[in-house]
Amino acid sequence: THGRGVSRSTDGGVTWEDFNDGNISGGVWSLALSSEGYLFAGTSGSGIFRTAAPLVTTIDPG
């Protein structure tokens, strides 16, 4: 997603939409999900971003 930030799908990957507020410029090089459910995005040039609210309340390891 170079230059577009982060994309997400809510239908198993059939369709995708941008998932950022437009502040991310450059490429997103890494994503990490915290144990509290926050998504972090590491970028090339814009720093590190975190979602305002948790995205996941439980993680199914299986």
- In tens, the pLDDT along 35-47 reads 888 989 888 877 8
* pTM score: 0.69
3-state secondary structure the chain: CCCCCCEECCCCCCCCEECCCCCCCCCEEEEEECCCCCEEEEECCCCEEECCCCCCCCCCCC
CB 31 within 8 A of CB 6: yes
- In tens, the pLDDT along 8-23 reads 888 888 998 887 766 6
Taking the domains of the chain in order of start, what are their residue ranges?
7-50
